[in-house]
Amino acid sequence: QYRTRTSCTFAAGDSDLVSVSNHADLQVDDSDFSFSGWIKVTVDATSVDNEDGYAVIQAGVYGTGANRLGRGFYLFYNDAAGDDEVFQFYTNSASATSTSLNSDNVTHDTWYHVVGTFDHSATTARLYVNGSEVSAGAKTDMVEPTAFTSAVKIGGSDTNHINAKQCEIIFWKGTILSPAQVAGLYNNGRPRH
């Protein structure tokens, strides 16, 4: 099992993040894994000013076509339809195949606790927001993430970043958090800043 945790608060933008060098302990191909973090988007997304971007953890990228192969996994904040914002848990394969699991609608300036889990043997992903599984339920045919070559970004991304506060970001390799464990993390208390 591999676990890393940060208690920093990431304020906003592409300069306020932690970049962790790529290491075998952070690769999740052929592994169960989980991640969690608190996030509060501080700018209201609109159809004019979208706030799309990577959030909490980015261990890989979205990819299409031979020149941009996607690999790994990440959490994405998507505001593609104006004020209809959702969290998306993505996994990507070396063949540029990707799948995502979406949360229900979220609003800005509110703290959310987000947890993603991936069961390698069942290729099943779950996404939890504020201690409860999202209404879409488990995605049982999630793409198996493959090894990625980039650094892992915690609290943001060099590109496609969002204006948000993020903290208490945790990653577990070899662990699938149970619903009781997810609820326990959420009930442990929300950030006060």
Looking at residue 192, its pLDDT comes to 60
**β-sheet with 164-173: strand ranges across:** 2-6, 164-173, 33-41, 112-119, 124-129, 132-133
φ, ψ at 180 (rounded to 5°): -65, -40
∠ CA 123-126-192, rounded to 5°: 145
Q: In tens digits, what is the pLDDT along the chain, a chain of 193 residues? A: 444 444 455 555 555 778 888 888 889 989 999 999 999 887 765 555 566 788 889 898 765 544 455 689 999 988 765 567 899 999 988 877 889 999 999 888 899 999 999 999 999 999 999 999 999 999 999 999 998 888 888 877 766 777 788 888 899 999 999 999 999 999 987 776 6
The per-residue pLDDT for 4 is: 47
How far apart CA 55 and CA 88 sit, in angstroms, is 10
Length of the chain in terms of residues written: 193
Question: In this predicted model, what pLDDT tens digit does every residue of 44-55 receive, in sequence order?
Answer: 655 555 667 888
* Largest Cα–Cα separation, the chain: 45
